[in-house]
Amino acid sequence: MSLPVEPGERHRVVAAGFSKRVLGVSDWDASAPVPDWRARDVVGHLVEWFPGFLKSATGLDLDRGPSTEEDPVAAWQVHADAVQRLLDGPESTTPFKHPMVGELPLPDAVDRFYTTDVFLHTWDLARATGQDEQLDADFCADLLAGMTPIEDLLRSSGQYGPAVHVPADADVQTRLLAFIGRDPLNSKE
């Protein structure tokens, strides 16, 4: 399966995949593959960083739900719905201007920075909670091809851990996860 290319539709599909994992969590305190994170912290990361980033670049505020400590399912759902309304509605034409990334069409910025993050963290939540870890292989390949040439920039951002060694003939999902600092060959981190 290939993900849609249009940013609003891609977000809809990626967020639905993440939502499926959110609804399947039975232990929100399970350890996640990101050091010092629990399953609820994976959700917390997504609902906490993006609203500030969006506001700084557009002036727009997203609806906020409860905290992930209180109700991670509701926190995610309110957030994901707010992002989708943004992409589907008239605010999608709002200029996106950020000092670190320049000016982009808002849907493209959401796709590049946020939807990609949701996609990658889907694996983290799935791994933490023993759910389906399979990601879209075509999008994994696209991300890996786009990230590899800017590896130094990505690593210097502090957002990615050191690459993990995996066999050169590993599937593209395994290579992408290893590139961003995950160890997908361990049964659970």
Query: Per-residue confidence of the chain (189 residues) as pLDDT tens digits?
Result: 689 999 999 999 999 999 999 999 999 999 999 999 999 999 999 999 999 999 999 999 999 999 999 999 999 999 999 999 999 999 999 999 998 888 999 999 999 999 999 999 999 999 999 999 999 999 999 999 999 998 888 888 777 888 999 999 999 999 999 999 999 988 654
| pLDDT in the model for residue 187 | 63
The number of folded domains in the chain is: 2
Closest by CA to 165, choosing from 155, 180, 178, 176, is 178
Does a structural domain hold residue 159? yes
Let me know whether 19 and 93 are in one domain: yes
- What is the secondary structure of 69-107 as a DSSP string? TT-HHHHHHHHHHHHHHHHHSGGGGSEEEETTTEEEEHH
Question: Among 87, 110, 129, which residue terminates a domain?
Answer: 129
Model pLDDT, residue 27: 98
124 and 150 both lie in a single domain: no
The per-residue pLDDT for 1 is 61
d(Cα 72, Cα 177) in Å, to the nearest integer? 24
The pLDDT value recorded for residue 189 is: 46
Count of H-run helices and E-run strands, the chain = 8, 2
In a domain, 55, yes or no: yes
Q: 31 lies in a domain?
A: yes
Same domain, residue pair 122 and 142 = no
Range of the domain at 140: 135-189
**Looking at the domain assignment, is residue 1 inside a domain?**
no
Same domain, 76 and 165: no
Domain termination residue (choose one: 111, 129, 147)? 129
Whether residues 81 and 102 fall in one domain: yes
95, 110, 129 — which closes off a domain?
129
Are residues 149 and 188 both part of a single domain?
Answer: yes
